[in-house]
Structure 1
Amino acid sequence: MDKLIENQFLDFTVAIPTYNGAKRLPQVLDFLLKQTGIEKLYWEIIIIDNNSHDNTNEVIKDYQKKYSQNICLRYFLEKEQGIPFARMRAISEARGEFVAFVDDDNLVASDWILQSYTFGKEHPQAGAWSGQIHGDFEVKPPENFERIQAFLAIRECGSNPYLFDAANLRLPPGAALVVRKQVWCENVPQRPTLRGRLSGILVSGDDYEALLHIHYGGWQIWYNPTMHTYHQIPHWRLERDYLLTLARGCGLCVFQLRLINTKNWQKPIVFVRTILGNLRRVLRHLIQYRGQLESNLIALFEMEFYLASMMSPFYSLKLYFRQFSVKK
């Protein structure tokens, strides 16, 4: 451990952004402390506390005392609210060549770090990579849930590795994602456009925003099926109100994501295409599920997403004029 602490540059950093995660963090840390096959790696865990009001700080202090001989566990308080800022802080504090973002409700398999590190070494053009994320449900999901499970950061895409289609916004979630620190620092802006929860809406897309910058910087984004994570899904995340709020938030960021790496003269075209393309999806969905939307939660979720995606150009304009008026 003394050698690990003295090392300025490590092989691997596990970064855990958390908000009021005192009850969830112990299990997450216990799974990380049971990693196998990494005896020759120098690695660390860093906790980014995003203004928790519970005893997260005390929980981490307790782990630091009990496991000081096994792993370097560091704690940081990030006062700017929002997971994009917590992740930015994690990147700035991380000492690993590779930085893995693990949410405080993610339980990783015992070989997760080994498989993550090995993949990064074997794929030098990979700027980011993610694996399989399985749902660990408190209650049984609704029928046909698999159609929308990706919105809850669940990805089960088979046993073959492949490149994500970043140009069409087919990307992994920010949970259980590994990036090269240097690649992130050279390509991802310090101030994100999408900043998480705004005005009570779960506006998403902040993890996609970072990945798109990495992609347009010339780096590959991979799916590595040998990395397994289990995402704990409490009952309230499967309730109607939460799901519909999530659908709207994921849709409202679509236009802003499509603007990344878009030239000024192309923006009006993207504006119109986003509206018309999603209008077509809305009309097709209405025809397919006519009279069923109120009773079919999954179809209703999809409709909310299409509608919000259609409105995302106007939402982007609203944010722009709000920021412009604040600057004046």
Structure 2
Amino acid sequence: MIGLSIIVATYNRSAYLLRTLDSLARQTLSPERFEIVVVDNNSTDDTPAVCEAFAEAHPELRLRRVMEPSQGISFARNRGIAESRGACIVFIDDDEEAGVRWAESYFRFFDEHPGFDAAGGAVVPVYEAPLPRWYSHYIEKMITGVMDMGPRIVPFRGKRYPGVGNSGFRRSLFDRFGNFDTALGRSGTNPMGGEEKDFAARLRAGGVRYYYIPDAEIYHITPAYKLSETYFARLSRMIGVSERVRTRNEGSASYARRLFAEAVKWGGTLVLSAGYLLRLRPRKALYLLRMRRNITCGLLTGR
């Protein structure tokens, strides 16, 4: 029986995808325990050839490539769920490399904790260019999803949740709570988000808790363009847009609460920026304020 279905949604990143697949081929978990479903979301590069060549070079792996014609990561992940056969479903993105114990850590977690249904692991950024002077921990979290919650399995507290790019779920959760909202999430080169937060909120409302698995570690490859001011501005703006779409879909009360939360976040941002100024790091302070401004503008205007 297949224990894990590993889903990799991909779009025009064949070189990075190959690194992802290479890391999956090095897993300590026996290949009999998992399958790999690559969901090609209309790639125009050599992704099909890369997948075919990799499958031929690794006949021990259960690797399939399926097509999803509707553009967007939520469509692609939902297609992966439909195509998968495992009792548990684990996601990794096409710009990430899995640590060698990644799949085994998820497999053992679900096998040894029958009452736990959702989990996420550590995220370590790998930079392909020098960091800009304005880069801070808070901007790093926005761009890379960096996560380290220590050496033990622990529950995520409050409203915190892992990014889907390193997360695992029992299949039954999708039957109970539905799939990812296709009105949200990255589409092509548009960095809109919100689908992860929306899904996590549904699980939380249903009493499901996420657990952190420290050994389920991935390395998030961050290319130079993601360290540019242009990408920073667009990503932060689209965070606000996705929050507007997500909360307005839930109703006017949800949107009003999010506006109030944004006002509170402004208070925190001002305090953090003042701290950078006191430490003579004015560019970090400035870009933290710009991040908050961009998110607020997206939240208010939807663009």
Q: TM-score, normalised by structure 1?
A: 0.80
Q: Deviations over 1:266-320 (max 9, x none)?
A: x43x43343244235436645874897xx8554344334433554565456x9xx
Task: Name the SS for the 1:178 alignment partner.
Answer: strand
Q: Distance in 2 between matches of 1:128 and 1:86?
A: 20
Which of 10, 13, 20 is the equivalent residue of 1:18? 10
1:127 CA displacement: 2.7
Residue of structure 2 aligned with 1:171, choices 146, 161, 165: 161
- Is residue 274 of structure 1 aligned with residue 258 of structure 2? yes
* Equivalence for 2:200: 211
> Residue 43 in 1 paired to residue 34 in 2?
yes
- Counterpart of 1:306 (choices 289, 292, 301) is 292
**Structure 1 spans left out of the alignment, 5+ residues:** 1-8, 319-328
Deviates more, 1:154-163 or 1:131-140: 154-163
Contact residue 130 and residue 227 of structure 1 kept, 8 A: yes
Distance in 2 (CA, whole Å) between partners of 1:67 and 1:154 is 31
Question: What is the one-letter code of the residue matched to 1:82?
Answer: G
| 1:56 maps to amino acid | T
- For residue 56 of structure 1, what is the aligned residue in structure 2? 47
1:229-254: CA deviation from partner (whole Å, max 9, x where unpaired): 11111111111111121112223333
Q: CA RMSD in A?
A: 2.9
Q: Which moved more, 1:170-179 or 1:52-61?
A: 170-179
CA distance in 1, matches of 2:228, 2:298: 24
The answer to whether the 8 A contact 2:8-2:92 is kept is: yes
The CA deviation string for residues 85-126 of structure 1, in whole angstroms up to 9 with x for no partner, is 110000000111111111111111111111111112223333
AA partner of residue 110 (structure 1): V
Aligned pair in 2 of structure 1 residues 217, 229: CA closer, same or farther (>3 Å)? same
2:194 is matched by which residue type in structure 1?
G
Tell me if structure 2 keeps the 8 A contact 1:107–1:230.
yes
Superposition pairs of residues 22-33 of structure 1, within 5 angstroms: 22-33=14-25
Once residues 125 and 216 of structure 1 are traced to their aligned partners in structure 2, the CA distance between those partners, rounded to angstroms, is 17
What's the TM-score, normalizing by structure 2?
0.86
Q: Distance in 2 between matches of 1:82 and 1:28?
A: 20
Q: Which residue of 1 aligns with 2:58?
A: 67
Task: Work out which of the two has the higher radius of gyration on C-alpha atoms and give 1 or 2.
Answer: 1
Q: Secondary structure at the match of 1:60?
A: helix
Residues of 2 paired with 1:162 and 1:299: CA distance?
32
Number of the residue aligned with 1:157: 149
Structure 1 window deviating more from structure 2 (9-18 vs 156-165): it is: 156-165
Deviation at 1:193, TM superposition (A): 3.4
Correspondences of 1:1-328 after superposition (within 5 Å): 10-36=2-28, 38-39=29-30, 41-68=32-59, 70-142=60-132, 145-151=136-142, 152-165=144-157, 168=159, 170-189=160-179, 191-197=181-187, 202-258=191-247, 267-268=252-253, 270-282=254-266, 285=269, 289=273, 296=282, 298-311=284-297, 314-315=300-301
**Percentage identity across paired residues of the two chains:** 23
2:94 is paired with a residue whose SS is: coil
Q: Distance in 1 between matches of 2:32 and 2:39?
A: 22
1:58 deviates by 0.8
Would the alpha carbon gap of residues 231 and 210 (structure 1) be closer, same or farther in structure 2, given more than 3 Å must change? same
Question: When the two structures are aligned, how many residues end up with a matched partner?
Answer: 297
The offset of 1:214, in angstroms, is: 2.4
Q: Is the 8 A contact 2:248 2:255 kept in 1?
A: no
Counterpart of 2:127, as a letter, is F
User: 1: distance between equivalents of 2:162 and 2:48?
Assistant: 30
Gaps of 5+ in 2: none
Letter in 1 for 2:206: G
Secondary structure of 2:226's match? helix
250-259 or 280-289, which moves further after superposition?
280-289
Distance (whole Å) between structure 2 residues aligned to residue 32 and residue 288 of structure 1: 39
The 1:299/1:244 distance shift into structure 2, 3 A limit, reads farther
